């Protein structure tokens, strides 16, 4: 029985050994799942969705805050109903800079108004009486027709577009002519120095007076200044030109003086012995101003006219009270020195022209011409004319050639 089991095990063992030595056939590839359509070509775009039928309402995208359940959906891109408005910077009308200042040096000419005769002063004895005093040889003299002057313009635009602004200008001219005077029989002393301060006149009776001749200086002076302040408004502006309207106020002051001594050094003692005619002018002003620019060069100009009143004022003091003018070989009292103040209507036009060059972004240099005219004014030469019973009003003008520089910021 035992031998039968051993024989069966041996047969089974021999049967498995050849089978394990033979090579196993390869496994078939896994079957792909069945598909109804071929794979899509990634190079082609998907088809467009069909348009909605006419009249159908469009699907509204839920917006945050439209409902209690809709606060924000990250699946949508929310766009504002319109682009936010931006503050646009106004266009700047040239030239550049909101501030500008323009100093200038000027060579000026004025009309002369010469006294036709010499003037004799009167000495007071302190008791209300007077006696003939020194004779001033002013006949044919003037303070000077040609003299240097100074000008200044400054202004500011109120807005970035340079549409509204304010501008002010200033001009001053002063001319002096000092000449020597001989006083026979008198001594003229200046306690504060030669030709300074208040002079003291000592008259000597004959026969001593014939041996004494005093000398002293006298001075003729003409002073003129004008100031105007204007509101400036843009009328026309292009890339290379602009035109502005001006409305404002002008003040002018013209004064002629004859006094004893040299040009004062800061004190007012000379006013104790002088004769003067002053002319303050006040007026409202209108005008135009503009410029044209090309290739770094520019031409500018302004025309203004002021309408107002001038009030001539004649002043005498000290030895000039009761002064006389020579008529032939005699002396006659100068009645025009007693003219009362009276306001008169006057017109003052001003013209400025210049040509300049832009030397940097904020700096320009220029040369120009200006003309200023006052239609009515009193002059000292007319007041010192013995033939005039009152001062005669005439016109006055200033012409100048100027050179300057303009800074803008």
Using one digit for the tens of pLDDT, what is the confidence trace for 160-179? Answer: 999 999 999 999 999 999 99
The β-bridge relationship of strands 363-378 and 393-408 is antiparallel
**Separation of alpha carbons 185 and 208, rounded Å:** 7
Q: Give percent of the chain with pLDDT exceeding 70.
A: 80
Q: How much of the chain exceeds pLDDT 90, in percent?
A: 58
Distance from C-alpha of 94 to C-alpha of 364, rounded to nearest angstrom? 13
Paired residues of 120 in beta bridges: 135, 324
**277, 336 in Cβ contact below 8 A?**
no
Our measurement of the distance from residue 31's CA atom to the centroid of its chain's CA atoms, rounded to an integer in Å, reads: 96
Tokens read off for 363: 């700096």
Of residues 75 and 8, which shows the higher confidence score?
75
Rounded CA-CA distance 70/48 in Å is: 29
Q: In whole angstroms, what is the distance from residue 352 CA to residue 230 CA?
A: 15
Cα–chain-centroid distance for residue 5?
135
Per-residue pLDDT band for 39 (boundaries 50, 70, 90) equals low
Higher pLDDT, 346 or 27: 346
d(CA 287, CA 289): 7
Rounded Cα gap, residues 148 and 224, in angstroms: 12
Copy the structure tokens of residue 174: 């002063």
pLDDT at 2 over 80: no
Within 10 angstroms of residue 281's Cβ, the number of other Cβ atoms is 24
Domains defined along the chain, listed by start? 103-179+218-408 (2.40.128)
**pLDDT level of residue 72 (50, 70, 90 thresholds):** low
Decide if pLDDT at 288 tops 70.
yes
- Residue predicted with more confidence, 66 or 374: 374
In whole angstroms, what is the distance from residue 212 CA to residue 185 CA? Answer: 5
- Residue 81, sorted as left (phi over 0), alpha (psi -120 to 50) or beta, turns out to be alpha
Q: Which two tokens stand for residue 389?
A: 């019973």
Distances (CA, A) of 161 to 86, 95, 101, 157: 17, 11, 19, 8
Give the model's pLDDT for residue 214.
Answer: 83
208-246 residue pLDDT tens: 777 888 888 999 999 999 999 999 999 999 999 999 999
pTM comes to 0.77
Q: Is the pLDDT of residue 393 over 90?
A: yes
Could you tell me which residues come within 8 angstroms of residue 8 by beta carbon, excluding any fewer than 6 positions away?
none
Q: What does each C-alpha distance from 266 to 112, 262, 263, 269, 271 come to in angstroms? A: 26, 12, 9, 9, 12
Q: Work out the mean pLDDT of the chain and round it to a whole number.
A: 85
Q: Which residues in 119-163 belong to E strands, given as ranges?
A: 119-124, 130-136, 146-157
Query: 121 and 321 in contact (C-beta within 8 Å)?
Result: no
pLDDT of residue 408 exceeding 80: yes
Where does residue 353 rank: exposed (0-12), middle (13-18), buried (19+ CB within 10 A)? Answer: middle
Mean pLDDT value across residues 171-193: 89
Rounded to the nearest 5°, which phi and psi values hold at 129?
A: -105, 160
């Amino acid at each position: 029985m035992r031998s039968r089991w051993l024989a069966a095990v041996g047969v089974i063992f021999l049967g498995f050994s050849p089978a394990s030595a033979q090579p196993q056939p390869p496994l078939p590839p896994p079957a792909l799942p069945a598909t109804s359509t071929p794979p899509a070509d990634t190079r082609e775009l998907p088809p467009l969705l069909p348009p909605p039928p006419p009249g159908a309402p469009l699907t509204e995208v839920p917006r945050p805050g439209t409902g209690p359940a809709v606060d924000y959906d990250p699946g949508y891109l929310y766009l504002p109903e319109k682009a936010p408005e931006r503050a646009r910077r106004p266009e700047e009308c040239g030239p550049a800079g909101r501030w500008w200042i323009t100093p200038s040096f000027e060579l000026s000419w004025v009309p002369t108004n010469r006294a036709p005769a010499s003037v004799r002063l009167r000495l007071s004895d302190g008791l209300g009486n007077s006696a003939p005093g020194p004779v001033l040889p002013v006949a044919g003299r003037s303070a000077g027709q040609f003299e240097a002057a100074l000008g200044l313009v400054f202004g500011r635009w109120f807005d970035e577009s340079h549409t509204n602004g304010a501008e002010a200008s200033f001009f001053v001219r002063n001319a002096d002519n000092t000449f020597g005077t001989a006083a026979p029989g008198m001594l003229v002393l200046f306690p504060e120095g030669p030709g300074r301060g208040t002079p003291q006149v000592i008259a000597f009776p004959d026969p001593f007076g014939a041996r004494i001749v005093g000398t002293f200086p006298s001075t003729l002076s003409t002073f003129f200044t004008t100031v105007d302040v204007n509101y400036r408004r843009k009328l026309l502006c292009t890339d290379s030109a602009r035109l502005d309207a001006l409305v404002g106020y002008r003040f002018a002051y013209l004064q002629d003086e004859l006094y004893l001594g040299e040009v004062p050094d800061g004190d007012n003692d000379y006013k104790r012995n002088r004769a003067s005619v002053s002319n303050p002018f006040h007026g409202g002003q209108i005008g135009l101003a503009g410029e044209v620019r090309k290739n770094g060069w520019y031409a500018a100009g302004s025309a203004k006219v002021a309408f107002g009143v001038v009030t001539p004022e004649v002043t005498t003091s000290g030895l000039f009270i009761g002064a006389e003018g020579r008529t032939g070989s005699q002396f006659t009292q100068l009645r025009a020195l007693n003219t009362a103040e009276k306001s008169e209507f006057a017109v003052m036009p001003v013209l400025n022209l210049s040509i300049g060059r832009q030397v940097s972004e904020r700096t320009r240099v220029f040369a120009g011409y200006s003309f200023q005219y006052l239609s009515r004014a009193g002059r000292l030469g007319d007041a010192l004319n013995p033939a005039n019973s009152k001062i005669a009003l005439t016109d006055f003008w200033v012409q100048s050639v100027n050179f300057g520089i303009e800074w803008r910021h």
